[in-house]
Amino acid sequence: MIRFEILTLFPDFFKGPLSESILNRACEKRLIDIRIINIRDFTADKHHVADDYPYGGGAGMVMKPEPIAKAICSLKEESPQPRVIFLTPQGKPFTQQRARELAQLERIVLLCGHYEGIDERVRMRHVDEEISIGDYVLTGGEAPALIVLDAVARMVPGVLGNEDSFRNDSFYEGILDYPHYTRPEEFEGDRVPETLLSGHHKKIEEWRRREALARTLRVRPDLLEHAPLSEEDHRILNELRKLG
């Protein structure tokens, strides 16, 4: 059981996504536990103000440090101790590798920033790790938190119906996924590749590997520099490069 706690100013953001499909089922099966915590509940003033003007001027507002610190400290009163992750474009790029590592933890706090960001002091003292989901700026950390939660949760054994269906995923082995087909055998004039209909498991496996390599070479050649590749993979890649 891995527990996620999301610290946010917009708890309703999560209502829809978390009530649907795989994540909801994972919660019901008690494989994961998700709690949404409103940072505003940790404000001390009667108007529940969670943001303020930036020192030094400039556009936008900054999230005040005290409510965030209080919220994190209240969570740390319980065991096991969580890893506190702040979602920000200034963080380390999120990867499948990091998702796999985080899935080993027992408790993860996802802190969602808003406005221009959070006070640097709370970041320094109370955040363990900063994650960016990509080189673009969103309106807040809620969507990124959901993305990290989803990617981590599906690595937890039992969350995907088929125990190990994540093992074939794009990036799990460092390259992109092979193409998938289902019925009908012919759709808008295109037939399912013959190999997939043959029932010949070894040939199917070879075909899928070749297609995955071809797709990676075409779309994400950068991945091939770090992917674990066999001699046979290199032979196929050389052949594909010659074919252009």
- Footprint of ligand ADE (CB under 6 A): 87-89, 132-134, 136-138, 141, 144
Q: How far apart, in whole angstroms, are the C-alpha atoms of residue 131 and residue 184?
A: 42
Among residues 86 and 207, whose Cβ is nearest to ligand ADE?
Answer: 86
In the residue annotation, 193 being an active-site residue is answered as no
Catalytic residue among 33, 78, 116, 239: 116
Q: Which of 17, 89, 179, 193 is catalytic?
A: 89
Query: What is the nearest approach in angstroms of ligand ADE to the Cβ of residue 48?
Result: 22
Active site residue 191: no
Nearer to ligand ADE, 9 or 237 (CB): 9
Distance (Å, whole) CA 218 – CA 240: 10
Rank residues 50 and 213 by Cβ distance to ligand ADE and give the closer one.
50
What minimum distance in Å lies between the beta carbon of 185 and ligand ADE? Answer: 42
Cα 93 to Cα 89: distance, rounded to the nearest angstrom:
8
CB of 41 to ligand ADE, least distance (A): 22
Q: For residues 54, 56, 60 and 64, what is the CA-based torsion angle, rounded to 10 degrees?
A: -10
Q: Residue 18's closest CA among 134, 4, 9?
A: 4
Query: Do 233 and 174 form a contact (C-beta atoms < 8 A)?
Result: no
Which of 65, 119, 123, 154 is the catalytic position?
A: 154
Q: With beta carbons less than 8 A apart as the criterion, state whether 2 and 26 touch.
A: no
HSE of 242, CA atoms in CB hemisphere, 13 A: 6
Told to judge if 116 belongs to the known catalytic residues of this protein, a careful annotator would answer: yes
Provide the CA 95 distance to its chain's centre, in angstroms.
7
**Active-site pick, 150, 169, 173, 211:** 169
Nearest CB to ligand ADE, comparing residues 91 and 174 = 91
For 57-205, strand residue ranges (E) read 62-63, 83-93, 107-112, 129-132, 186-187, 190-191
Cβ–Cβ under 8 Å, residues 40 and 48: yes
- Reading the block at residue 192, the tokens are 């399912």
- In the complex, the smallest distance separating the C-beta of residue 13 from ligand ADE, rounded to whole angstroms, is 13
Choice between 55 and 136, CB closer to ligand ADE: 136
Active site members: 89, 116, 154, 169
